[in-house]
A = this chain, B = another copy of it.
Amino acid sequence: MSGITLIGTGNMARTIGTLAVAGGNTVEVMGRDQSKADDLAKALGGGATTGKWGAVPAGDVVITALLYDGVVPAVAHYGDALAGKVIVDISNPFNATFDGLAHSEETSIAQEVAKVAPAGASVVKAFNTIFRNVLEKGRPNVFIAGDDAQAKAGVAAFIESLGLRPLDVGGLKMAHWLEGVGLVTVSLAGNGVGHWDFALGVNEFTG
């Protein structure tokens, strides 16, 4: 059981927050619009609290549940308030035609977050390959990437508390390729696979 803080009050924050409360985690919500944060915390129940936008989060694991282009600015705004925290980036920087990433270089939102994060903070990419509706009703695999083994272990424990299987794909540079897996997933759905009721994950063949 972890203490987590959700930065963001949208649909993905609601879904992860709901799972987090059900998994016995302590949840805090922070939103630029304080009334939305209050509403979400109330809706989540389970003793969920709110914190002020930009203040030091109560949770050790801080999930930026924001649209991709808001993540780096938010982390930069929080600045030293995130010192020592594990920042979890869940975003997908798709381009406008959903057939590539918004950045042309071999980077990721997670890697860009690491550049602006304060000393002592660690960044982990997770959850970006999973459609929200799948997270609400299924038990998909959750790919994670990050350079700090201890931070990844903390995120993995949080994921397991949700009843999900974390899959470690390696260092933070692999976040770029996880964004690619997000893209492949959306492309498959767009081509009629699985009616958006699927996630990519491990299929084992031990026969």
Contact = CB atoms under 8 A, between A and B. Distances in A.
A183 interface: yes
Listed from nearest, the 5 A-B pairs whose CB atoms lie closest are A138-B205, A180-B180, A177-B180, A201-B203, A170-B187
Contact of A170 (B99, B139, B171): B99
Contacts of A202: 188, 193-194, 198-200
Interface string A174-191: 101110110110011011
Contacts of A201: 200-201, 203
Contact of A143 (B100, B134, B184): B184
A183 B177 contact: yes
Interface of A: 99-100, 104, 106, 134, 137-141, 143, 167-171, 173-174, 176-178, 180-181, 183-184, 187-188, 190-191, 193-195, 197-207
A169 B191 contact: yes
Contact of A187 (B138, B174, B190, B197): B174
12 contacts: A100-B173, A138-B203, A140-B205, A168-B191, A169-B188, A180-B181, A180-B184, A181-B184, A181-B200, A194-B202, A197-B206, A200-B203
